[in-house]
Amino acid sequence: MAPSTSPTRRFNFYRFGIVGRVDLNIKDLDDAVGQRLREQATAAGMSVQQYLRNELTRIAGRRSPAELATGREPMNRADFERIRKRLRDIDAA
C-alpha cells in the first residue's frame, strides 16, 4: 500500500519500493516458532524485535537463489546507504 504523503514520496514508493523504514506483521506464526525465537533472542541478550531485525538484515545480505543463478552480487551496506541517501535527496527536492 502506498504511503499517503507527498506526490514525490508516492512516486518513489511505486518506483523504488517502500522508502525508509518497513514495518512487518507476520500472521499465523506457529506458537512453537514464536517461543523458539523468544528463546534465541533471550540467549543473545536482545529483545525479540532486535533479534529479528538483526536476523532479517543478515538474511537480506545473502544472495537469493535467483541472484545465485544470475551471478548478481548482494547489496552491501555502503551501497544500501548510498541509495537511501539518494532517495532522501530526491524526496527533499
Tens digit of each residue's pLDDT (9 = 90 or more) over 83-92: 888 888 887 7
Q: 66: burial class by Cβ within 10 Å (0-12, 13-18, 19+)?
A: exposed
Task: Give the model confidence (pLDDT) of 40-69 as tens digits.
Answer: 999 999 999 999 989 988 888 887 888 778
DSSP state letter for 56: H
- The verdict on pTM exceeding 0.75 is no
Give the integer Cα–Cα distance in Å for 86 and 82: 6
Residue 84 vs residues 26, 52, 90: alpha-carbon distances, Å: 25, 21, 10
Q: pLDDT-based confidence at 20, cuts 50/70/90?
A: low
At 14, list the grid cell: 511505486
